Amino acid sequence: MDQKKFYGRWNFWEELVGYPMMIFYWIKGEKISTMLVKRIEKAKQRSSQISLTDKKRDEFLILYEKLDNFFSSHFKNIDASRNHNFEEKIEYCLEQYRKESLSIFSSSNLMKLQGNFLNGAETTLFLYFALESKTKREIRLSDIMIGENSSKILIGFLKDKKFIDENHNLIVDQKSSFIRIHRFLKDNHIINPDFQDTTIIEAMENEYNTKFDKGTFSRAITVRANEFEEGIYQEITKLFSVKFKS
């Protein structure tokens, strides 16, 4: 984002108007986080009313990529990382706003920042929600496992072993063993070994409604399986008719 273009030239008359408005927001105005929540809800509501055709999707993708406001620049940067959920992304953008506002001593620029941040958030998230809900199909275990019914067999097994509930939600406290089970599936070509760990993490997050960060995943797969896990592996090899490798 071009800072000079964003704030423009300093203007004495804008300062006269800006100070009363700034003082009003400090005393009686809503917090920026509260105002942002309202913009997020508005963006969600607007996006839910969109019927997205292929043509409209392409137009929205172009608009999203071309967005150049304070919120979009930070949101798109952190959105590129898979280590953060939506709430964490919003909190990151709020933190960047707070840092920027503390560095500004001009009342008119503060008001410009606030307006740009809130309007930019609504515009950015309207496109984001529309594209996410209408065009992005979540990758699931069935997309990465070899065999037509492999994912159903695995899900049934994990339910029986009380790893997940009837809605596929992870219910065990320790994620490490659960991660190693899926690494075992990849090593034994039950999960397609051509898929990167990041793709497997994404499929696991969508399937089990749980966050698996890269750090936890990377650490878990370096630890040797314990006796309980070895027993699980043996049962899995029987289910999928593969040779057990201890």
pLDDT in tens, 149-199: 899 999 999 999 999 999 999 998 889 999 999 999 999 999 999 888 888
CB atoms within 10 A of CB 165: 13
Do residues 182 and 191 lie in contact, with contact meaning Cβ atoms separated by under 8 Å?
A: yes
Band of the pLDDT at 148, cuts 50, 70, 90?
A: confident
Q: Which amino acid, 71? A: F
- Asked if residue 58 has pLDDT above 60, the reply is yes
Q: For the chain, how many residues are written?
A: 246
> Could you tell me which of 221, 57, 204, 64 has the C-alpha nearest to residue 143?
204
Bridge partners of residue 145, in order along the sequence: 191
Structure token pair of residue 96: 């960047």
Where do the domains of the chain lie? 3-135, 141-240
Q: What is the pLDDT of residue 23?
A: 54
Question: Where does the pLDDT of residue 21 fall: very low under 50, low under 70, confident under 90, or very high at 90 and above?
Answer: low
pLDDT at residue 27 tops 90 = no
Q: What is the mean pLDDT of residues 32-45?
A: 93
Q: Mean pLDDT over all residues of the chain?
A: 83
Instruction: Give the list of residues 6+ apart from residue 216 with CB closer than 8 angstroms, or none.
Output: 175, 176, 179
Kindly report whether the global pTM for this prediction surpasses the value 0.85: no
DSSP lists the bridge partners of residue 10 as none
Q: In whole angstroms, give the CA distance from residue 169 to residue 190.
A: 21
Give DSSP secondary structure letters for 155-201.
Answer: HHHHHHTTSB-TT--B--S-HHHHHHHHHHHHHTTSB-TTS-HHHHH
Looking at the DSSP assignment, which residues form a beta bridge with residue 17? none
DSSP 222: T
Mean pLDDT of 58-83: 87
Short-list 232, 240, 242, 238, CA closest to 148: 240
Q: What is the pLDDT of residues 71-118, one digit of tens each?
A: 999 999 898 776 688 899 999 999 999 998 888 766 677 778 888 999
Q: Following DSSP, what letter does each residue of 99-146 receive, concatenated?
A: HHHHT---HHHHHHHHHHHHHHHHHHHHHHHHHHHHH-PPP-HHHHBS
